[in-house]
Copies of this chain bind each other. A is one copy, B any other.
């Protein structure tokens, strides 16, 4: 038996980059949170404290800022691919890289009857994400969104579940269904119109959540994923994590009052947590695409 060094990576997390494109009067803003992780031949740093292979995390941060100036930002998937290929291409001992990016949305403030050219307010509606993974000659892109909070005030049931000694939940044919969607979809290749795809997939997720009569949050999740895959052949699979944010009907009978699905208590914890994958049966192998991605 010997003690050895196993799987590892290191990098700089949460580099907050704001890039302003000032070409013309009408500024464009990109507001990102960028994290990088490198893999490769770093054993000597761990066992000997020899840093000769260790690209400093400070250098990784500098590169994020410098690349934003040199190449602009563009779609976060392209920005991630550029950074990832740089780290694996320019350093002998770096064989893999993962670039994780969150993008915060901004809307133009309305002023003087139209869009203001350089004043913005932070948008709601979830955060766009991507995880770009490079391993030698291979590259994978897993894009997605988080914190897309949605609610249906009817059109949701939960019945027919098994009952044992510890089951006290009543069946219901009309409840509030609320969740904060985290979705991540793996692209088959990298020749994609990233912004257009993101926009359309987000639209499908919202619309399919809305229109599907729900017999279980699991059913809603599957339907949402299925709709995305049917419309987007360039997507190999989609994984979703959806907390069931419980809204409990308040019992007002002690006060002599009815409660006809009107008054709810929005609970914090505990919450249900539904996680599932919808995939193509001929999807290419995922390789390292999901490495380090919170999963299930």
Which positions in A face B, CB cutoff 8 Å?
Answer: 1-22, 27, 29, 31, 35, 37, 42, 45-59, 61-63, 65-66, 68-70, 90-91, 105-106, 109-112, 116, 118-125, 148-155, 157-169, 176, 203, 206-207, 209-211, 214-216, 218-219, 221-222, 226, 229-230, 237, 239, 243-244, 247, 250, 252, 254-282, 291-292, 294-296
- Minimum Cβ distance to chain B for residue A88 (Å): 14
In the complex the two chains form, is B257's CB within 8 Å of A42's CB? Answer: no
| In contact, B121 and A6 (Cβ under 8 angstroms) | no
Contacts A162-B52, A164-B59, A176-B18 given; indicate if A46 touches B276 (C-beta within 8 A).
Answer: yes
Q: Evaluate contact between B281 and A4: CB separation under 8 angstroms.
A: yes
The answer to whether A255 and B11 touch (CB under 8 A), given A17-B264, A219-B45, A265-B65, is no
**A109-B296 contact given A51-B216, A54-B161, A278-B6, CB 8 Å threshold:** no
A206 vs B115: C-alpha distance in the bound complex, in angstroms? 12
Given contacts A46-B276, A48-B219, 20 further A-B contacts (CB under 8 A): A4-B278, A5-B222, A6-B277, A7-B239, A7-B277, A18-B263, A19-B264, A22-B153, A49-B215, A50-B215, A51-B159, A51-B160, A68-B262, A69-B257, A70-B257, A112-B207, A119-B155, A120-B152, A121-B124, A292-B295
